[in-house]
Amino acid sequence: NEAMSTGFCSTQEIDARNHVQEALNSKWRLQWHDSIARNSNSPNQSHMPPTMCDLWIERGYRHSRTEIVEPKLMWSQPNLHEKRRMGGSTIRPYRVSLFAVRRIFQVDTCEDWEKMNKGSQMKAPPMPIAKPNCLLVVRSSIGADYLFEASCPEERDHIVHLLKMTTARLVSHAVVGNGDTMVREFFNEDFVAGGINASLISTTNED
């Protein structure tokens, strides 16, 4: 069968696995426009500057033979993960379960933004502060949107493609019951204390 292509990347099986592994092993330095969100109602946030952050995918893990913690898309201030590991910070990264990601898309113009958010309370994108052709949105299934800005359109498009491939492959494994492959690709096998009580989504810095 011919490969179906999405942009510049093939979606043949072997290529799809490689793209997923690239996504799982990557960390991107982005700008997070956290005041531009459907669930943000504070008028004081409308002019807040973006926050520099590192964005990555955290693999899931087994807590017991019957409990798992799901893979998550995570972001935090740069180097926060290393600070927490060394006991220098108690701030937790922002996170959303990959199973709760409903859509990932580019935003190039105000018209694109308005079309994608017709009927919602979403604020206008932060133009001209942001570079319009560098914006990407992660839309969750539980009522929140997250707007990130990459350094250039090429990086933005590559991130969007990798995240789309990764979330689609994870959900596909779950739907068809391909549990062994899903665990092998998206989970660490080690048992880790902490439990499955982590919520699907959390955007607070509190422990």
| Cα 154 to Cα 159: distance, rounded to the nearest angstrom | 9
Number of Cβ within a 10 Å radius of residue 80: 19
Asked if residue 134 lies in contact with residue 149, where contact means CB atoms within 8 angstroms, the answer is yes
Q: Can you give the pTM of this predicted structure? A: 0.75
Asked if residue 53 lies in contact with residue 46, where contact means CB atoms within 8 angstroms, the answer is no
Write down the pLDDT at residue 3: 37
| Cα 108 to Cα 156: distance, rounded to the nearest angstrom | 11
Cα distances (angstroms) measured from residue 77 to each of 62, 73, 82, 173, 195: 27, 14, 11, 32, 25
**34-49 burial by CB neighbour count: b if 16+ within 10 A, else e?**
bbbbbebeeeeeeeee
Write down the pLDDT at residue 42: 47
Q: What is the pLDDT of residues 7-57, one digit of tens each?
A: 455 557 777 888 899 999 999 999 998 866 555 544 445 557 888 999 999
Asked if residue 160 lies in contact with residue 107, where contact means CB atoms within 8 angstroms, the answer is no
ω into residue 50 within 30 of 0, thus cis?
A: no
Asked if residue 202 lies in contact with residue 72, where contact means CB atoms within 8 angstroms, the answer is no
Write down the pLDDT at residue 152: 94
Write down the pLDDT at residue 77: 86
**Average pLDDT in the 157-172 region?**
94
Q: What is the pLDDT of residues 89-142, one digit of tens each?
A: 556 789 999 999 999 998 877 676 667 666 555 555 555 556 778 999 999 998
Asked if residue 130 lies in contact with residue 31, where contact means CB atoms within 8 angstroms, the answer is yes
